[in-house]
């Protein structure tokens, strides 16, 4: 099988690999530019980008907007010919303002999940920025296509189909994830391909379908391309690269993790997640003070821990108290590699 390019409207990536956005602070300018320079698509995480600014607690939005602009500029400067995008979670406070800033900075692509990005077309109106929802079911894909068609007279440029083996927040209930009859990425992918067909016809455009979750090597990529995906999105595999923006201790935690250390966790976002089990997850009593007001729906008294604090701790290298999101195959990495090496392994069939 020949390796296809990934076409998204007028954009063509040499390799059909999108590096998944990883927050907080895991995929920023270094990782995104390295992937884009290798011919894939580099994605900056747009979640709490300004968390290192000393004024962050006083003015999170101002700090996030400034840091987002700076990360986009740095990524573009390092990968002037590459394709770059930003990932935003719909559940984030100030989602609209942050998406608009990314559009103003002329990013190629916005990827958005953790909720239904129904307003996304309005936020990119008049720009050339491509838009992609992340879905975990054909039902969600159908709903987004229907609403965008009815309200905005357009169809997504691409759709990320994220299956149950991914790292980060998961678009399934815990019961669904633990059930023996759980849907697989392959099944959901085939269903989503069917759902988008009429919209491709109606708008006379290709909607690129991207498979994500648990992709580790070229065999996974080949299988998904053969099933009909136009590309893949990969997260965890890029954490253990020299170029990943994460702290060195954070990368080491993934190199040391065993298969049994990776499991489902509860998150204040209201969706299950998959992470490396550490003290944060094992502890009963955690810091629940809300300093950051990062989620529209957060109820501090009911949450297991403050997600912003847990992700800031992780980004700063506190691997016992930080939240270490990780895909099912995260234990397979046993050495730090360059982005070039990882891209070669993913595309070597
Ligand atoms: C550390 C980490 C952080 C992540 N953060 C986000 C995020 O902020 N927003 C999002 O939509 N997905 C996030 N994801 C999901 C990835 O973008 C990607 O879809 C997923 O990692 C694919 O599964 P894999 O890790 O098995 O390759 C995260 C994943 C990881 C591992």
| Ligand 1 centroid distance, CA of 131 (Å) | 17
For ligand 1, what atom is nearest to the CA of residue 214?
26
CATH of the domain at 167: 3.20.20.70
**pLDDT at residue 85 in the model:** 98
Residue 330 located in a structural domain: no
Residues 47-74: tens digit of each pLDDT: 999 999 999 999 999 999 999 999 999 9
320 in a domain, yes or no?
no
Counted domains in the chain: 2
Do 260 and 149 share a structural domain?
no
For ligand 1, atom 8, name the residue with the nearest CA.
23
Distance 197 CA to ligand 1 centre (A): 27
Ligand 1 center–CA 291 separation, angstroms? 24
* Bridging pattern class, strands 158-162 and 130-135: parallel
- Residue 298: pLDDT band by 50, 70, 90 thresholds? confident
Query: Is the pLDDT assigned to residue 302 strictly greater than 90?
Result: no
State the Cα–Cα distance between residues 299 and 140, nearest whole angstrom: 25
* 228 lies in the same domain as 263: no
d(CA 180, CA 177): 8
Shared-domain flag, residues 186 and 74: yes
Q: Is residue 329 part of a domain?
A: no
Same domain, 281 and 193: no
DSSP track, 187-198:
HHHHHHHHHHHH
User: Is residue 288 scored above 70 in pLDDT?
Assistant: no
**How high is the pLDDT of residue 2?**
86
Q: Which residues line ligand 1 (CB under 6 A)?
A: 20-23, 26, 45, 47, 87, 89, 113-114, 134, 162, 165-168, 212-215, 233-237, 325-327
Residues 179 and 140 in one domain: yes
If asked whether residues 170 and 263 sit together in one domain, one would say no
| Domain assignment present for 26 | yes
Q: How far apart are the first and last CA of the chain?
A: 8
Q: Domain of residue 175: give its range.
A: 6-246+335-347
Is the entire prediction scored with pTM above 0.95? yes
Give the Å distance between the CA of 324 and the centre of ligand 1.
Answer: 11
Once rounded to an integer, what is the mean pLDDT over residues 316-344? 97
Closest CA to 103 of 88, 81, 82: 88
Residues 241 and 268 in one domain: no
Q: What is the pLDDT of residue 303?
A: 80
Ligand 1 atom at shortest distance from the alpha carbon of 45: 8
CA of 45 to the centre of ligand 1 (A): 9
Q: 91 and 20, same structural domain?
A: yes
22 and 69 inside one domain: yes
- State whether 233 and 258 are in the same domain: no
Give the count of beta carbons closer than 10 Å to the beta carbon of residue 136: 26
Does one domain contain both 118 and 212?
Answer: yes
User: Phi and psi (nearest 5°) for 47?
Assistant: -90, 120
For ligand 1, mutation pick of 17, 18, 19, 20 (most atoms within 8 Å of CB) = 20
Give the residue with greater pLDDT, 79 vs 1: 79
Check whether residue 165 and residue 256 sit in a common domain. Answer: no
Residue 322 is assigned to a structural domain of this protein: no
- Cβ(313)–Cβ(321) under 8 Å? yes
Contact in structure between 155 and 199 (CB atoms under 8 Å): yes
């Amino acid at each position: 099988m020949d390796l296809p390019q990934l076409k998204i409207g007028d954009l063509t990536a040499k390799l059909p690999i999108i590096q998944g956005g990883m927050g907080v602070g895991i995929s920023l300018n270094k990782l995104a530019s390295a992937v884009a320079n290798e011919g894939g698509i580099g994605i900056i995480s747009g979640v709490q980008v300004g968390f290192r600014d000393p004024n962050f607690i006083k003015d999170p939005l101002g700090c996030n907007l400034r840091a987002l602009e700076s990360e986009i500029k740095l990524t573009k400067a390092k990968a002037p010919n590459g394709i770059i995008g930003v990932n935003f979670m719909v559940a984030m406070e100030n989602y609209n303002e942050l998406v608009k800033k990314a559009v103003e900075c002329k990013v190629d692509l916005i990827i958005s999940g953790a909720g239904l990005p129904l307003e996304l077309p309005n936020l990119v109106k008049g720009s050339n920025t491509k838009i992609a929802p992340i879905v975990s079911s054909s039902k969600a894909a159908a709903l987004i296509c229907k609403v965008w068609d009815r309200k905005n007279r357009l169809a997504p440029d691409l759709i990320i189909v994220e299956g149950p083996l991914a790292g980060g927040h998961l678009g399934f209930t815990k019961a669904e994830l633990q059930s023996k009859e759980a849907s697989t990425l392959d099944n959901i992918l085939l269903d989503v391909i069917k759902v988008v067909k009429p919209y491709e016809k109606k708008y006379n455009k290709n909607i690129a379908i991207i498979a994500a979750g648990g992709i580790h090597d070229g065999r996974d990529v080949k299988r998904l391309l053969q099933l009909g995906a136009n590309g893949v999105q990969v997260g965890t595999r890029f954490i253990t690269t020299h170029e990943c923006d994460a702290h060195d201790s954070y990368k080491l935690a993934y190199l040391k993790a065993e298969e049994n250390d990776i499991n489902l966790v509860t998150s204040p976002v209201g969706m299950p997640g998959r992470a490396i089990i550490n003290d944060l997850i094992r502890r009963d009593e955690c810091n629940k003070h809300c300093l950051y007001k990062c989620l529209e729906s957060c109820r501090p008294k009911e949450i297991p821990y403050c997600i912003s604090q847990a992700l800031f701790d992780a980004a700063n290298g506190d691997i016992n108290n930080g939240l270490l999101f990780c895909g099912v195959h995260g234990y397979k990495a046993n050495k730090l590699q360059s982005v070039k090496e990882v891209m070669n392994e993913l595309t070597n069939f």
